[in-house]
Chain A
Amino acid sequence: MPAPAQRRIIFQHIDEPGYTNDIGCYVRNGGYEVLKKAVGRKPEELIDEVKKSGLRGRGGAGFPCGVKWGLVDRKSGKPIYLIVNADESEPGTFKDRYIMHQDPHQLIEGTMISCFANNVKQAYIYIRGEMPHGARILEKAIAEARAANFVGPNILGTGYSCEIFVHRGAGAYICGEETGLIESLEGKRANPRIKPPYFPAVLGLYQCPTIVNNVETLCHVKYIAEHGGEAYSKIGTPGNTGTRIFCVSGHVQRPGYYEFPAGTITMGQLLNEVCGGPLPGRTFKAVIPGGSSAKILRFGERFKGKRKVGAEMLDYDWGVEDVPMDFDSLGMIGTMGGSGGVIVMDDTVNMVEALANINAFYSHESCGQCTPCREGSLWMKKISSRMVHGLARPEDAALLKSVADQIPGRTICAFGEACSWPTQSFIAKFGDEFKQYSETKKTAKPEGAHELV
């Protein structure tokens, strides 16, 4: 089956020749018209549209946005805050940055609509510390929007006021975890909070009810406010509505970002047709479908089971290439859609070395609060880097797995899963490579390549 056509609703103007990130260009292209209409509607109506749309969060967990908004404590009498999670740091993910760099007003419009819908008077865009350029663009864009009365006091004469502030992140991956982000925004170390009791919807920023949404999620809200939840829910597949942006990196002919109606494209179509297939003379070996913490898939493995299609339960028998790229299908086969970062590895990749790299990242990024994640992530890193530096033992595979098994489900935040799933899945799918690594000839490094960690 040929791949469906891209449908760019969020990335509509990304890389469009002549499209600039100033407000003039945005307004010429119909910008802020949705906000103008939205502030004339009842906030509850907008929330209803989002609920109807079935929009799921694009930050990683795929949590339904309408449900999240429904959990906000609106009776506390405290202000409600909205935080735009622009910390995009999951390896393999590069979508939010393009929105902020090339179409910042789309994010600002989506943010303002979401703020209006939730009676938020103050919003923060928490942007990754390593993106100073993006921060400057956003600051300029907010100033422009403020001058045009789309942000700030008495927006468009409605009496509704709301400010947006850009906050530059503290330069750590964990700042993207929503409660770590909140701590960081409060000026502290980004140590994630225990939940319960610190659910952001009740006890978030400054102990006030807080909504944390990903950059892309809020852009979808803008689209929903424009076209209605009903219309949005018809894009994609039931339960996986709207479009998904895939950030494809690694060993394909045409890496890049691609936007498709969710669930309409399979992994095989994405990699072979859209991305041009493997590099000449190579074959696909493995793919991580949703950012580096998602469990890896091995080309050649098969997934069988029953799934719900409409009202029926149907058998499925998929190879990696057959898996539809949506939250539920990827979840069904034991991995996740996550943040949409698709990392492709071909037959030149040694899995022990690839895992050593991932483990180095997670051990470096664990905040260090809770024992299993803090100690487990570094232990796994020490084992895998010892292996690649020549002291591999056959029993290391089992040890790695056992260490990884002691982490998930026992930590404060989902980083525990994020750091252990790679090891668990690499060992489960490429166990032999790990067991035999002591005898394996090491991959010859290309000229000038970086040293392995």
Chain B
Amino acid sequence: MIAPAKPDLVTVNIDGKEIAVPKGTNVIEAARLVNVDVPHYCYHPKLSIVGNCRMCLIEMGMPAVDPSTKAAIMDPATGKQKINWIPRPQIGCGTNVSPGLHVKTLSPMVKDAREGVMEFLLINHPLDCPICDQAGECKLQEQATGYGRGYSRFIEQKNVKPKRTQLGPRVTLDDERCILCSRCIRFSKEIVKDDVLGFVDRGSYSTLTCYPGKKLENNYSLNTVDICPVGALTSSDFRFKMRVWFLKQTNAIDTESSVGANTVVWSREGVIYRITPRRNDDVNDTWLADSARVLFKAVKASDRLTAIKINGTDGALDVAVNAAAELFKSNSAPGAIAVVGSGRSSVEEQFLTRKLADALKASTQLVSRVGQGDQLLISADRNPNVRGALVTGLITALPFGELTGLGAQIDAGKVKVIVAINEDLAAAGLTSAQLTKVSVVYLGSHFNASSAAAKVVLPTLSPFEKSGTFVNQQFRIQKFFKAVPGPVGATDDLMVLAKLVTAAAGLTLPAEINALWKVIAAEVPALGTMAFANLPETGLLLDATPFAALPFAEGETLHYKPAQPAVAAATA
């Protein structure tokens, strides 16, 4: 018997298990909640429902009621309300729960329907798994094993379709593998509003193609590769590079902008092969910009800094730190040292940067990186973590424009030493003349004008080589993890910063992230109740109200509206 449900919940029975689910949930999602897998291809939680693959066919029924009296009709055999089973299988994706809905996913009717659909999907499929990139993450392969009959009755000629169409600069299409689920079409139309994909021809000859004269070249084109359930759409970059089952997956955050899209970094033996989106329904849904997926190429770039330099000669870390300490000591007048922190640094790094600046009585500034948002997953603020700098107290005002104020102070002879962390001062607006007037201590991962001009160069890690947190535009603190080891010669940013703090103030701070978080939690009220290890993978919203008056640069993006400041924190 179905228990009375709460008003916004609907109780359904799936394979004998009862569960209350929110109204509007479809049967696939409801089944997921009781760990029942309803195989599907065309259904995608973030796209419109078309019900075309027919893989999700299941048996459904409703409790029987007398049509005139509306009284329940009981089944004398079971003593329970009789269920009127619909004689034809129904699609789970297109059916929303209704009170008392009964579902069978394991009945002979369902098994037969699934076997039929699987057979149909395979008859014209090239069955070229051994040379297909999708192998290992192919729904067709998985569900053929799980729900297919395991033999073929098809002796006719298979359909022939284009095998290697370049749909755009980053996406390759094999039409013979396409199961015509239309996910890629719906994604382009509904999410990116770039309606360039469609089918031509009819029936089994239907062929996916690009609108004549157009290309699939928007900055989200690779999402079609992610959601293609088969190997029809592949990434032209990743194609034939590596079998996915050899790859290690590491959760990370896109550093392109303050959206903070959740990602997975796929690597093997210290080499990154690709970046894909990680679902976060409050941030990026299941999407990720193409531009976010090539960021890992910087890891192996030829301009990586791999040698610690002191006045142009190689040296050890402690020698370099001592050299920096000497610079700090000889410029102890208040305001003689400036710290240029970064909105690309992690919260932890920003915390240590603030500690360093405090110890040096240095002024602090951040480099502003404002561009145009794309209203989807790239916001106007191209720094991933300006809000981290606010939360940790590294800055109190938003960075704006170039570092002209700092330049003026250099010209006035006030600032003598600059500690630049992951920021190129030249790119941020200082002239080369100004750079020659100061001593630069540079921490960073890549070569630039500042590293070239620096007295002390401390090579550090790229975001793929370390762990930490960023606070995105919603004031959501999100974790990222080390996917690959850094190059020889580079040191973890936290280690370098901790050593500099010690050198400047005699204060010992932990460089290990969990230990450091104890200090952070004790000193930063907004993070007071948290620990790095306990932060959820999808992040935690911080209290944004202290910063509500700041003129943030971001316009509207997916799951972010600037007019409404982020909702008060669940910091408990």
Which residues on A are within 8 Å of B, measured CB to CB? 172, 174, 189, 191, 194, 196-197, 363-372, 374-379, 382-383, 386, 399, 402, 406-407, 409-412
A374→B113 contact, CB < 8 A: no
**A194 in contact with B121 (CB, 8 Å):** no
Query: Which residue of the partner chain, among B94, B117, B182, B199, contacts A194 with CB atoms under 8 Å?
Result: B94
Interface code B94-106, partner A: CB below 8 Å = 1, 0 otherwise?
Answer: 1100000000000
B50 at the interface (CB under 8 A from A): yes
Assess the B94–A379 pair: CB atoms within 8 A: no
Interface check B54, CB cutoff 8 A: yes
List, in ascending order, chain B residues with CB within 8 A of A366's CB.
202-204
Residues of B within 8 A of A363 (CB): 203-204
Which residue from B51, B117, B179 sits with its C-beta under 8 Å from A372? B117
Chain B residue at minimum C-beta to C-beta distance from A376: B120
Report the separation of the CA atoms of residues A372 and B119 in the bound assembly, to the nearest whole angstrom.
Answer: 9
B52's contact among A370, A376, A379, by CB below 8 Å, is which?
Answer: A370
Q: Give A172 to B201 CA distance when docked, in angstroms.
A: 11
A194's nearest neighbour on chain B, judged by CB, is: B51
Question: Which residues of B are found within 8 Å of A364, using beta-carbon distances?
Answer: 202-203
Which B residue sits closest to A173, measured CB to CB?
B202
Instruction: Say yes or no: is B154 at the interface (Cβ < 8 Å to chain A).
Output: yes
B88 & A410 in contact (Cβ 8 Å cutoff): yes
Contact B120 A365 (CB under 8 A): no
Contact of A368 with B199 in the complex, beta carbons under 8 Å? yes
Q: Which 5 A-B pairs have the closest CB atoms?
A: A406-B116, A375-B120, A368-B206, A382-B156, A366-B203
Residues of chain B within 8 A (CB-CB) of A379 are: 120, 123, 154, 156
- CB contacts (< 8 Å) of B159 on chain A: these are 378
A409 to B157, CA, bound (A): 27
Enumerate chain B residues within 8 angstroms of A409, measured Cβ to Cβ.
87-89
Cα separation A377 to B204 with both chains bound (whole Å): 8
- Determine if A370 and B53 form an interchain contact, defined as CB atoms under 8 angstroms apart: yes
Q: How far apart sit A379 and B119, CA to CA, in the bound complex (Å)?
A: 11
Contacting pair A371 B202 (CB below 8 A): no
**Given A363-B204, A366-B203, A367-B203 in contact, is the A406-B119 Cβ separation under 8 Å?**
yes
Q: Which residues of A contact B70 (CB under 8 A)?
A: none
**B binding-site residues for A, Cβ under 8 Å:** 49-55, 57, 87-89, 91, 94-95, 112-113, 116-117, 119-121, 123-124, 153-154, 156-157, 159, 179-180, 182, 198-199, 201-206
Which of the listed residues A172, A377, A378, A410 has the most CB atoms from chain B within 10 Å of its own CB?
Answer: A410
> Do most interface residues of chain B lie in helix, strand or loop, or is the interface mixed?
loop
Known contacts A367-B202, A367-B203; is A412 also within 8 Å of B156 by CB? no
Which residue on chain B has the smallest CB distance to residue A363?
B203
> Is B123 a contact of A375 with CB atoms below 8 Å?
yes
Chain B residue nearest to A402 in the complex (CB): B153
Nearest B-chain residue to A409, judged by Cβ? B88
Q: What are 28 A-B contacts defined by CB distance under 8 Å?
A: A174-B202, A189-B198, A189-B199, A366-B202, A368-B201, A368-B203, A368-B205, A369-B180, A369-B182, A372-B54, A372-B117, A375-B120, A375-B121, A375-B123, A378-B124, A378-B203, A378-B205, A379-B123, A382-B156, A382-B157, A386-B156, A406-B116, A406-B119, A409-B87, A410-B88, A410-B113, A411-B54, A412-B51
B203→A365 contact, CB < 8 A: yes
Question: Measured between alpha carbons, how far is A271 from B206 in the docked complex, in Å?
Answer: 41
Asked whether A194 lies within 8 Å of B53 as measured between CB atoms, the reply is no
Please determine whether B49 and A194 come into contact, CB atoms closer than 8 angstroms: yes
Chain B residues lying within 8 Å of A399, measured Cβ to Cβ, are 153
| Sample of 12 more A-B contacts, CB < 8 Å, known A189-B198, A367-B202, A371-B117 | A191-B50, A194-B94, A196-B94, A197-B94, A365-B203, A369-B182, A372-B116, A372-B117, A374-B120, A402-B153, A406-B112, A407-B116
CB proximity of A382 to chain B, nearest CB, Å? 4
Minimum CB distance partner of B179 in chain A: A371
- Contact between chains at A194 and B50 (CB < 8 Å): yes
B62 to chain A, nearest CB (A): 14
Shortest CB-to-CB span from A203 to chain B, Å, is: 13
Chain A residues with CB under 8 A of B180? 368-369, 371, 374
A411–B205 Cα distance when bound, in Å, is 18
Per the bound structure, the CA–CA distance linking A337 and B205 in Å amounts to 31
Look across to chain B and name the residue whose beta carbon is closest to the beta carbon of A368: B206
**Nearest opposing residue in chain B for A396, CB measure:** B155
Docked complex Cα distance between A380 and B416 (Å): 84
Distance A410 CA – B115 CA, assembled complex (angstroms): 12
A368/B55 in contact, CB under 8 A: no
Assess A372 versus B120: contact at CB under 8 Å? Given A365-B202, A379-B154.
Answer: yes
Q: How far is the CA of A406 from the CA of B89 in the complex (A)?
A: 12
List B contacts of A406 (CB < 8 A): 112, 116, 119-120
Known pairs A366-B204, A379-B120, A382-B157; A371 contacts B94 (CB<8 A): no
A370 CA / B123 CA spacing, docked (Å): 14
Query: Whole-angstrom distance between the alpha carbons of A331 and B377 in the complex?
Result: 56
Are B157 and A172 in contact, with the CB atoms below 8 A? no
Which chain A residue shows the least CB distance to B180? A368
Contacts of A172 in B (CB 8 A): 202
CB pair A374–B206 under 8 Å, yes or no, is: yes
Partner of B89, one of A371, A378, A386, A410: A410
Which residue of A has the minimal Cβ distance to B52? A369
Contact A378 B119 (CB under 8 A): no
Query: What residue of chain A has the Cβ atom nearest to residue B207's Cβ?
Result: A368
Contact A375 B124 (CB under 8 A): yes
Specify which of A174, A189, A377, A410 is in contact with B54 (CB 8 Å cutoff).
A410
Nearest residue, chain B, Cβ from A367:
B202
Nearest Cβ in chain B — how far from A356, in angstroms? 13
Q: How far is the CB of B374 from chain A (nearest CB, A)?
A: 27
> Which residue on B lies nearest to A416, using beta carbons?
B54
Taking a contact as CB atoms under 8 Å apart, the answer to whether A410 and B117 are in contact is: yes
Across the interface, A371 reaches (CB within 8 A) one of B49, B53, B112, B156, namely: B53
Asked whether, in the complex, the Cβ of B156 is within 8 Å of the Cβ of A383, the reply is: yes
A399 vs B120: C-alpha distance when bound (angstroms): 13
Cα–Cα distance between A369 and B49 once the two chains are bound (Å): 13
- Chain A: which residue is nearest B122 at the CB level? A375
Complex CA–CA separation, A386 to B157 (angstroms): 10
A377 to B91, CA, bound (A): 20
Beta-carbon contact of A410 and B204 below 8 Å: no
* CB-CB nearest in chain A for B203: A366
Chain B residues contacting A194 (CB-CB under 8 Å) are 49-51, 91, 94
Assembled-state Cα–Cα distance A367/B156 (Å): 21
Q: Chain B nearest CB: distance from A417 CB in Å?
A: 11
Q: Which residues of A contact B121 (CB under 8 A)?
A: 371, 375
Q: State the Cβ distance, A299 to closest chain B Cβ, in Å.
A: 31
Complex Cα–Cα for A22 and B153 (A): 58
B53 cross-chain contacts in A, Cβ below 8 A:
370-371
Which residue from chain B places its CB closest to the CB of A385 in the assembled complex? Answer: B156
For B95, B180, B182, the residue with the greatest tally of chain A CB atoms inside 10 Å of its CB is: B180
Contact of B204 among A189, A196, A368, A383 (CB under 8 A): A368
Shortest distance between the CB of A150 and any CB in chain B (Å):
39
Q: Cβ of A402: which chain B residues have Cβ within 8 Å of it?
A: 153
CA distance A372 to B204 in the complex (A): 10
Chain B proximity of A361: nearest CB distance (Å) = 11
Please measure, in the bound complex, the distance between the C-alpha atom of A375 and the C-alpha atom of B120, giving whole angstroms: 5
Check B120 against A371 for contact (C-beta < 8 Å): yes
Which of B49, B198, B206 is the most central at the interface, judged by chain A CB atoms within 10 Å of its CB?
A: B206
Give Cα A365 to B201, complex, Å.
10
Least Cβ distance of A437 to chain B in Å?
16
Q: How far is the CB of A188 from chain B (nearest CB, A)?
A: 9
* A370 nearest CB across to chain B (Å): 5
CA separation between A92 and B387, bound complex, in Å? 71
Say yes or no: B113 contacts A377, CB within 8 Å: no
Expressed in whole angstroms, the Cα–Cα distance for A365 and B205 within the complex equals 11
B117 CB contacts on chain A under 8 angstroms: 371-372, 410
Q: Could you tell me the distance in whole angstroms from the C-beta of B85 to the nearest C-beta in chain A?
A: 13
Bound form: Cα–Cα A54–B88 in Å: 28
In the bound complex, CA of A141 to CA of B464 (Å): 72
The reply to whether B204 and A374 contact each other, CB–CB distance below 8 Å, is yes
Residues of A within 8 A of B124 (CB): 375, 378
Q: B113: which A residues are within 8 A, CB to CB?
A: 410
